[in-house]
């Protein structure tokens, strides 16, 4: 029996309130349950993302696609939004027209300011989509 496609894995900064908010936002809108979430400093991240790929990644949000691509910054955000229900795939189409350097510049600005918000609890551990 084929278990189905690999999920998209979303790795986030476990101590960042903005990252926790983004994960809660995505989890609530992941109606097809195609996303799995784990902290960047956890064993799931170390086990699934090769060390050479981890070396140059930001410490905020990283996506490992079902196909095995490691995405960061605005590309990770667009990929994540594209996996959510409507209207988010349409938003991705619109944002894809924005040049990557500009999108990544906005991402870096937000990433610098993100630690001003305290982290709060995610979703109950029994959800099944949250890994260590």
Nearest C-alpha neighbor of 63 from the set 28, 41, 87, 36: 36
pLDDT at site 4: 55
pLDDT at site 114: 66
Sign, CA dihedral 15-18-20-22, equals negative
DSSP one-letter code for 129: S
Domains of the chain in sequence order: 8-119 (3.40.30)
CB 89 within 8 A of CB 30: no
Q: What is the DSSP string of 5-36?
A: SPPEEEEE-TT-HHHHHHHHHHHHH-TT--EE
pLDDT at site 122: 53
pLDDT at site 1: 42
Residue 80, CA distances (Å) to 25, 59, 92 in order:
11, 17, 9
Largest CA distance in the chain: 47
pLDDT at site 75: 94
pLDDT at site 16: 76
The per-residue pLDDT string of the chain (132 residues; one tens digit each, 9 = 90 and over) reads 445 568 899 999 877 777 888 888 999 999 888 899 999 988 999 999 888 888 888 778 899 999 999 999 999 999 999 999 889 999 999 999 999 999 999 988 887 776 555 545 555 555 666 766
């Amino acid at each position: 029996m084929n278990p189905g496609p690999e999920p998209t894995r979303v790795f986030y900064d476990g101590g960042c309130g903005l990252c926790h908010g983004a994960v809660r936002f995505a989890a609530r809108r992941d109606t097809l349950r195609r996303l799995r979430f784990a902290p960047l400093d956890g064993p799931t991240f170390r086990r699934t993302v090769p060390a050479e790929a981890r070396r140059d990644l930001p410490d905020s949000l990283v996506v490992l696609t079902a196909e095995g691509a490691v995405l960061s910054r605005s590309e990770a955000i667009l990929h994540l939004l594209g996996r959510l229900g409507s209207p988010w795939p349409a938003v991705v189409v619109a944002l894809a027209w924005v040049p990557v350097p500009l999108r990544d510049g906005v991402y870096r600005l937000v990433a610098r300011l993100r630690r001003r918000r305290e982290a709060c609890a995610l979703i109950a551990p029994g959800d099944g989509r949250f890994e260590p």
